[in-house]
């Protein structure tokens, strides 16, 4: 059986905050299964490599027999977590949140072990709170305490609006810890304030305050800001292998050590050996990037998927060949009003660009090809039959075969 010291070393490896290590050691020494909480607000449809960092830490607890308590914040998601935000988040509908929650759970299960796992929705207890309960909860904290948050404080000083619902958010998330009687709560470093509120509320309720562990935030592919689907600098864990491989090959060289440490699922020693090999020049940056990309693809798509994605990448970017597997997109013939449609619009409808304007811009830049032939007229209009069964390429990684029905 793994000793307490070994467990502690593994569970705290790579963490930023541990409040407190002595408390965690004491709980491990007493034995038994700890209840380890991680909250996910399903505000989007995909989990990316950045959020996978904390999910993998939760799995580490499972591997030692502790219970992962995954909280789907279907109630708090409708308010919107203000952490790291300079503006109020738009509120989501119940239907939007429910749809995202199902997707999140399916993706989280690709990382977590099936047991021991407890999945809860915080609408179970937050959705039943009456106004009396909310007033008692708000009395547990002061406005001054809430404004100690860096994001709240900055917005208040700058005169930017702070919705009352945002001030409630840390208290509601903290109440989750009370209701679940969690022993440990995990979160990214941007969640530190929220999880500390959970400790405070547990103490006020006569419970033993949970241990807090925070994990680093993984920078996105731009190397500037944390990974975010909104910013478009992300790698989703369910993206096709070719997309994951291609995106990771575009990673700035200085970020490779962070990705080896946080995105590969490797233990600390293996990641450190690879980072040292990069620093010493024993592993060339391009070879390191290929190793990283293969490892991540294998992690989420199974052994061998990384090698296949690498071969596909080389066919396209080294041999300039068309990919073996090209996604198909159907267009309704009815969209060709008058028998013709602007090509920039077709690219948007096929999901190859975000908008008509971006389609026109990509054509102007010479980044659009139809069956290998470059298109250079951003105002070009085409008939349905002229694009039916054609293969379009936008940039280096986006491909689609169009079918007109």
Give pLDDT tens digits along the chain (405 positions): 578 999 999 999 999 999 999 999 999 999 999 999 999 887 766 789 999 999 999 999 999 999 999 999 888 887 766 655 444 456 667 787 888 888 889 999 999 999 999 999 999 999 999 999 999 998 888 888 877 777 777 777 888 877 777 888 889 999 999 999 999 999 999 889 889 999 999 999 999 999 999 999 999 988 888 888 767 788 999 988 988 998 898 889 999 999 999 999 998 899 999 999 999 999 999 999 999 999 999 999 999 999 999 988 887 766 566 666 678 888 888 888 778 899 999 998 888 888 888 889 889 888 898 877 788 888 998 888 888 878 888 887 788 888 888
| Three-class secondary structure assignment of 172-232 | HHHHHHHHHCCCEEEEEHHHHHHHHHHHHHHHHCCCCCCEEEEECCCECCCCCCECCCCCC
User: Among 15, 14, 19, 23, which Cα is nearest to 4's?
Assistant: 23
- What is the Cα–Cα distance from 229 to 104, expressed in whole angstroms? 14
User: What sign has the CA pseudo-torsion 196, 201, 203, 207?
Assistant: negative
Contact 66, 24 (CB under 8 A): no
For 373, list phi and psi in degrees, rounded to 5. -100, 130
The CATH number linked to 356 is 3.10.290.10
pLDDT value at residue 133: 92
pLDDT value at residue 86: 45
Q: Is residue 222 part of a domain?
A: no
- What is the Cα–Cα distance from 79 to 353, expressed in whole angstroms? 31
pLDDT value at residue 45: 66
Q: Is residue 225 part of a domain?
A: no
Distances (CA, A) of 264 to 188, 248, 282, 389: 17, 12, 20, 39
- What is the Cα–Cα distance from 26 to 114, expressed in whole angstroms? 27
Contact 61, 11 (CB under 8 A): yes
Q: What is the dihedral of CA 178, 182, 187, 191, to 10 degrees?
A: 20
- Are 68 and 193 within one domain? yes
The CATH number linked to 252 is 1.10.240.10
pLDDT value at residue 87: 46
Quote the Cα angle for 244-54-51, to 5°.
40
Length of the chain: 405
Among residues 215, 233, 267, the one where a domain terminates is 215
- Are 158 and 19 within one domain? yes
- Are 49 and 161 within one domain? yes
Q: Is residue 185 part of a domain?
A: yes
- What is the Cα–Cα distance from 76 to 174, expressed in whole angstroms? 11
Residue whose tokens read 């949140």: 97
| Helix, strand, coil % over all residues of the chain, rounded to 5 | 50, 15, 35
- Are 205 and 248 within one domain? no
The CATH number linked to 190 is 3.40.50.620
- What is the Cα–Cα distance from 82 to 41, expressed in whole angstroms? 12
Total domains present in the chain:
3
Contact 49, 227 (CB under 8 A): yes
Q: Is residue 220 part of a domain?
A: no
- Are 301 and 397 within one domain? no
Q: Is residue 68 part of a domain?
A: yes
Q: Is residue 95 part of a domain?
A: yes
Structural domain containing residue 251: 241-317
- What is the Cα–Cα distance from 191 to 64, expressed in whole angstroms? 24
Among residues 215, 231, 258, the one where a domain terminates is 215
User: Among 396, 306, 300, 303, which Cα is nearest to 49's?
Assistant: 300
- Are 299 and 336 within one domain? no
């Amino acid at each position: 059986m793994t000793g307490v010291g070994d467990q502690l070393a593994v569970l705290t490896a790579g963490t930023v905050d541990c409040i407190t290590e002595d408390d965690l050691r004491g709980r491990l020494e007493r034995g038994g299964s700890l209840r380890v909480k991680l909250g996910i607000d399903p505000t989007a449809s995909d989990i990316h490599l950045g959020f996978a960092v904390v999910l993998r830490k939760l799995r580490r607890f499972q591997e030692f027999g502790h219970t992962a308590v995954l909280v789907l914040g279907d109630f708090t998601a409708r308010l919107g977590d203000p952490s790291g935000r300079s503006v109020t988040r738009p509120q989501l509908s119940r239907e939007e949140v429910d749809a995202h929650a199902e997707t999140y759970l399916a993706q989280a299960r690709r990382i977590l072990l099936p047991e021991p796992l407890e999945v809860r929705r915080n609408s179970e207890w937050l959705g039943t709170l009456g106004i009396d309960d909310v007033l008692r909860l708000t009395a547990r904290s002061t406005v001054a305490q809430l404004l100690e948050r860096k994001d709240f404080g900055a917005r208040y000083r700058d005169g930017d609006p702070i919705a009352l619902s945002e001030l409630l958010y840390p208290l509601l998330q903290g109440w989750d810890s009370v209701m679940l009687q969690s022993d440990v709560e995990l979160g990214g470093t941007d969640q530190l304030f929220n999880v500390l509120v959970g400790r405070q509320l547990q103490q006020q309720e006569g419970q033993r305050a949970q241990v807090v562990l925070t994990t680093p935030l993984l920078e996105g592919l731009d190397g500037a800001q944390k990974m975010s689907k909104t910013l478009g600098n992300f790698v989703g864990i369910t993206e096709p292998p070719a997309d994951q491989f291609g995106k990771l090959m575009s990673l700035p060289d200085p970020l490779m050590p962070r990705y080896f440490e946080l995105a590969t699922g490797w233990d600390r020693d293996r990641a450190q050996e690879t980072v040292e090999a990069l620093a010493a020049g024993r592993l060339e940056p391009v070879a390191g990037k290929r190793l990283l990309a293969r490892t991540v693809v294998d992690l989420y798509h199974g052994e061998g998927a990384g090698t296949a994605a690498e071969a596909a990448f080389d066919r396209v970017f080294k041999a300039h060949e068309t990919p073996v597997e090209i996604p198909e997109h159907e267009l309704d013939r009815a969209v060709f009003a008058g028998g013709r449609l602007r090509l920039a619009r077709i690219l948007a409808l096929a999901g190859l660009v975000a908008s008509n304007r971006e389609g026109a811009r990509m054509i102007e830049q010479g980044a659009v090809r139809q069956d290998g032939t470059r298109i250079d007229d951003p105002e070009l209009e085409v008939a349905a039959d002229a694009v039916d069964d054609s293969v379009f390429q936008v940039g280096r990684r986006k491909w689609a075969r169009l079918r007109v029905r």
